[in-house]
Amino acid sequence: MRNRMKLTFDQQLATNYKSTSQKVRVLTEQWVDNSIFCPNCGRLDIDKYPNNQPVADFHCSNCQEEYELKSKQSAIGTKLLDGAYRTMLERLTSSNNPNFFLLNYDLSNFSVINFFVIPKHFFVPEIIEKRKPLASTARRAGWVGCNILLNSIPQTGKIFFVRNRQVEPKEKVLTEWKKTLFLREEKEISAKGWLLDIMRSIEKLGKHEFTLDDIYVFENELSKLHPENKHIKDKIRQQLQVLRDKDYLNFVSRGYYQLT
């Protein structure tokens, strides 16, 4: 059956709210609650936690995945403002790190432009940018927030349910989610960072098939990201093998690779 996801908000729900930010919160949360299935197990219905839960906004009662919702008017851009820097880093290494839902809406007609999920296994310290501490005149002087660097996340880590007002097939969402679940097995965060860097390098090539020499072009760039490593080419080959073992790519012949 085709997905009949509705892309407009139910404005009726927000008539009692005065401020725009409150209205938006109610409308976007309600839309997610009604429209979004769990990308991990496909359950049609995810549940909203009561407000002000510290952990997440939604969870799936079938597979227990948790999701935090971030909404933004107009384009989502390359950086996303998040909470406290230290809390974020702590969450990355703990098990209660939720997946992120990103909703990009159009307030002129109360509709959804884009909606995608970033699976939690794409969150590594490299994508968290420390912001300047708040000025001494601020109410929370010295508090340090963070940005999530969306352009440092590989495209495979942005799984769209709705892209440019077009609903993507449910099967596609579930397949894309499964494709990178292997990253969860990588408990060591620096090892995971390497895999993500190689995945992003492959994407930069923009090709379905590529050679080892194509990837070696990123040697300099990768050595800046990992100055402690003196054998970048060896590392690249090793990471390509890991990605092959996880069915992320195929080895066509010696030095030739193909994305699955």
Binding residues for Zn ion, per CB under 5 A? 38, 40-41, 43, 60, 62-63
DSSP 3-state of 70? strand
Bridge-based pairing of strands 209-211 and 256-259 is: antiparallel
Minimum CB separation from Zn ion for residue 169, in Å? Answer: 18
Q: Cβ closer to Zn ion: 63 or 141?
A: 63
Alpha-carbon distances, residue 6 vs 74, 105, 110, 154, 207 (angstroms) = 19, 13, 12, 28, 34
- Cβ atoms of 167 and 7 closer than 8 Å: yes
Contacts for 117 with CB less than 8 Å, ≥ 6 apart: 39, 67, 99, 100, 101, 102, 158, 159, 161, 177
Contacts for 35 with CB less than 8 Å, ≥ 6 apart: 5, 6
Minimum CB separation from Zn ion for residue 39, in Å? Answer: 8
- Cβ atoms of 98 and 120 closer than 8 Å: yes
Neighbour tally for 167: CB within 10 Å: 19
Q: Cβ closer to Zn ion: 183 or 202?
A: 183
Q: Cβ closer to Zn ion: 38 or 76?
A: 38
Take residue 117 and report the two structure tokens written for it.
Answer: 């999920």
Minimum CB separation from Zn ion for residue 43, in Å? Answer: 5
Q: Cβ closer to Zn ion: 43 or 72?
A: 43
Minimum CB separation from Zn ion for residue 12, in Å? Answer: 29
Q: Cβ closer to Zn ion: 14 or 117?
A: 117
- Cβ atoms of 194 and 214 closer than 8 Å: no
Distance separating alpha carbons of residues 116 and 69, to the nearest angstrom? 10
Minimum CB separation from Zn ion for residue 195, in Å? Answer: 24
Q: Cβ closer to Zn ion: 43 or 79?
A: 43
Minimum CB separation from Zn ion for residue 176, in Å? Answer: 15
Distance separating alpha carbons of residues 50 and 219, to the nearest angstrom? 48
Q: Cβ closer to Zn ion: 24 or 38?
A: 38
